[in-house]
Structure formats: structure tokens, C-alpha cells
Amino acid sequence: MIPRQYWIMTALLFLLALAMAIYVWQLRRREVLNSPPPATAQHVAPPAAGPLQQATLWVAYDKEAALHRERISIPLTSNQQQRAEELLRALMNRYAEKNSPHPIAAASELHDVYLVDPGLAVLDLNATFVDSQTSGVLAEELTLASIMETLTANIPSILRVKILVDGHERETLAGHADLSGAYDVAEVSELAKQLTTR
């Protein structure tokens, strides 16, 4: 024979669990109703902070399968991390233009650049940028060399570059170029020379 107080306690606990479930369900419903609509993914323009300065972009041209140096004036800060972000955003804007020589998806974005001592730059790109890459050894090399040469041409203290996608490691850029390790910019410069001397 089960004592009466156990029955009462069990019933109370059951009612409490039911009430909590209803409360959580209500909270979730309210959160869904109040949450803002998802923002349309758009390319982020370079911030207009800092004085206008001359910078060098190494731009990939798919038709020629080559890299070309271009000089631009953009606002650049003295902080190296922000400077790296501004340079890469300027490069991505160049690729997002209407008649881009190396087209990328409009929603392509650079999340962050982290400068880690000694001389390591960690770039965090979004998946859209990577997924919209033209797949192929040459095509992916153009992208990597363009990014790394642009960084090192303007920030010589960067010696190695590691690329993450949405904060995670990825095996390849678009099926070919290896992203598992950090790139030595001196080695990439050798590759870039081959891509500029056709």
C-alpha cells in the first residue's frame, strides 16, 4: 500500500512539470514573434574611418589567369588588424563589382582578421565567399594569392596566413587548394610571381 502523501507529492510534481513545460512553450512562442526578420546578407563596405591612403590590391583576372597590381585610395587606420580588414574588404568590393574580373557572390563577407604573434594572420571568411568560388586549382590559387599578396604588400609584418570559414577549419577552398595549414607568405609570393609573369 503506497502512503497517501507520496501520491500527493507525485501529483504536485507532475503538475509542476506540466506548468513549466507550458511556460517554456509560451516563452519560445513569444521569442519567435518578437525576433526581428533575418537581415538580408549583403556585402559590407569598408568603414569610412581613418585618412585616405594609397594601398595596393593584387587583383585576380580569370580571363588571363593572372594577377594584376592596382593602386587605390581607401580610408585606412593605423591599427594593423583593422587595416587588414579594410584592405580585404576593399578587395572583396572590387570582386563584387558589376564587371568583376574574378566574380564572387554578393553576400561574400570577411567576418574578422586576427593578428597573432609572431606574424600570423588568421582570416575568418563566410561560407558564401568560399562556396561561390570557381572550383579548380588555378582558380582557387588566384583567390588565395590575391588575398595574401594584398595583405603582405600593405602589411609586411604578416609572415603567415591561416584561413577559416565561419570560424572553422576547412579542408580545401573549393575542392582543390589546401586550407588545412597556415600559408607561408614567402612561398605564396613565389606562386604569385608565376601568376604575374605570363
Partner 1 sequence: MRLSKIQALGSGCGCVAAIFLCSVLVARQEARPSSPTSGQQTGARIERLVLIDPAHGGSDTGAMLNPAIPEKDVNLAFARRLRQELSNHGLPAQLLRDEDTTLTADQRAARVNSEHPTLYITIHSTSLGSGITVINALLPAVASTHGLFLPWQTAQSTWLAQSRLVSTLVTPTIERWGLPARLLLAPLRPLNNVTAPAFAIEIAPMNGDILQLASVEYQRLISTAMANAVVGTLGLLPARPGPIS
- Binding residues for partner 1 (CB under 8 A): 62, 65, 134-139, 141, 144, 172, 174-178, 180-181, 183-184, 187-188, 190-191, 194-195, 198
Rank residues 70 and 178 by Cβ distance to partner 1 and give the closer one: 178
Rank residues 86 and 141 by Cβ distance to partner 1 and give the closer one: 141
CA distances for 141 relative to 54, 70, 172, angstroms: 26, 18, 11
| Burial of 86 from C-beta contacts in 10 A (0-12 / 13-18 / 19+) | buried
Q: Closest distance between partner 1 and the C-beta of residue 62, in Å?
A: 6
Q: Closest distance between partner 1 and the C-beta of residue 105, in Å?
A: 16
The crossing angle, in degrees rounded to 10, of helices 80-96 and 137-154 is 140
Q: How far apart are CA 9 and CA 185, in angstroms?
A: 69
Q: Do 128 and 174 form a contact (C-beta atoms < 8 A)?
A: no
Rank residues 97 and 178 by Cβ distance to partner 1 and give the closer one: 178
Question: In a 3-state reduction of DSSP, which class is residue 16?
Answer: helix
Report the candidate in 154, 150, 157, 155 with the shortest Cα–Cα distance to residue 188: 150
Q: Closest distance between partner 1 and the C-beta of residue 197, in Å?
A: 10
Rank residues 75 and 136 by Cβ distance to partner 1 and give the closer one: 136
Q: Closest distance between partner 1 and the C-beta of residue 64, in Å?
A: 9
Q: Closest distance between partner 1 and the C-beta of residue 175, in Å?
A: 6
The crossing angle, in degrees rounded to 10, of helices 137-154 and 185-196 is 120
Q: Closest distance between partner 1 and the C-beta of residue 177, in Å?
A: 5
Q: Do 160 and 120 form a contact (C-beta atoms < 8 A)?
A: yes
Rank residues 156 and 175 by Cβ distance to partner 1 and give the closer one: 175
